[in-house]
Structure 1
Amino acid sequence: MIRNVLTGIAIAILSGFSPAESYAEQPATEQRQQLFKQIEADTERLEDIVDAQSWEQVTTLARQLERDVELLRTLFPDSSRGEGRSKSKIWQNWGDFDQRLSAWSASFEKLAITSQSKDHRQIEAALDSATSTCRSCHMKYRSLW
């Protein structure tokens, strides 16, 4: 175990990783790609937390996801057009795309509010709504390669 930790530290040092490099200093494309990965991981974790019926944790994580999706709305500057896996349709149809992000954020807000009821069935429905809202953008606005 210690050997793995030391190996990881050595790799990080040799690769030039700098913990001082802040998230905000990265280009928008890298920021949004990392944030999308974080949202995906947190959503998967949220599914497990809902299954475990840990309602306070559901509320906290749903609120974090709501904030993260709101942050995404700022990470599509025109200068990043054509970078990453985002289709150019995002910038051509910005109003629709922005509305979809807003709906996604609102779905996590609804989940946070619903989680306070501790009604497992309603919370599952709110989570399903949040994940389907996410998927609705993929076909229209995300390239597969």
Structure 2
Amino acid sequence: MNKWLLFVLTAIALPGYCHAEQPETEQRQQLFQQIEGNTERLEDIIDQQDWQQVSTMALKLEQDVILLKKLFPQSSKGEWRSKEKIWHDWENFEHKLTLWSISFKRIATTSQSKNHRQVIKAFDSATLSCRACHMQYRSLW
């Protein structure tokens, strides 16, 4: 009886243990959610034309995207909704993250002109970078 109980408990616990997500994966997901929320806030701040806040938030987003590069270790391959293609094509993926971070820096720089139209254009470029990367490197399920 005890052996049977031990077998059942092991069968239940082992799959969860084997598929436990890495700390980097959890950090990555939290950071992506933070970037998403801050990008929405940035859009609101742009609409309010608070140029100092636009610059501050855009620079924070730039740094957050730079941090993302460190949160895709080989050991996290296949976890969450990231396609394995990320690790097979790391240079291209890293290049896209670099372009994304640069697009947020461009928003900060453009905000100094206080030209709403130009800042919106820079913001649209940043969100297009995000979508393009998702289409290529993120599973829908």
TM-score band, normalised by shorter chain: 0.7 to 0.9
Partner of 1:18: none
Partner of 1:131: 127
% of aligned pairs identical? 64
Q: Which TM-score applies when normalising by structure 2?
A: 0.84
Distance 1:43 1:139 in 2: 18
Distance 2:68 2:122 in 1: 21
Structure 1 residue 139: deviation in Å? Answer: 1.0
Distance 2:83 2:89 in 1: 10
RMSD: 0.8
Given the alignment of the two structures, is residue 69 of structure 1 paired with residue 55 of structure 2, yes or no? no
- The structure where helix makes up a greater share of residues is 2
Note the 1:98-137 alignment, pairs <5 A.
98-137=94-133
Per-residue Cα deviation, 1:10-68 (whole angstroms, up to 9, x for no partner): xxxxxxxxxxxxxxxx7000000000000000000000000000100000000000000
Given the alignment of the two structures, is residue 79 of structure 1 paired with residue 75 of structure 2, yes or no? yes
Distance 1:126 1:82 in 2: 32
Task: Give the counterpart of 2:34 among 32, 35, 38.
Answer: 38
Q: Identify unmatched segments of 5+ residues in structure 2.
A: 1-21
Amino acid at match of 1:122: Q
Distance 2:79 2:120 in 1: 35
Distance 1:139 1:104 in 2: 14
Partner of 2:47: 51
Q: Which TM-score applies when normalising by structure 1?
A: 0.82
Distance 2:94 2:120 in 1: 25
1:74 aligns to what SS in structure 2?
helix
The total of aligned residue pairs comes to 120
* The structure with more radius of gyration: 2
Amino acid at match of 1:91: W
Amino acid at match of 1:43: T
The 4+ residue runs of structure 1 with deviation greater than 4 A are none
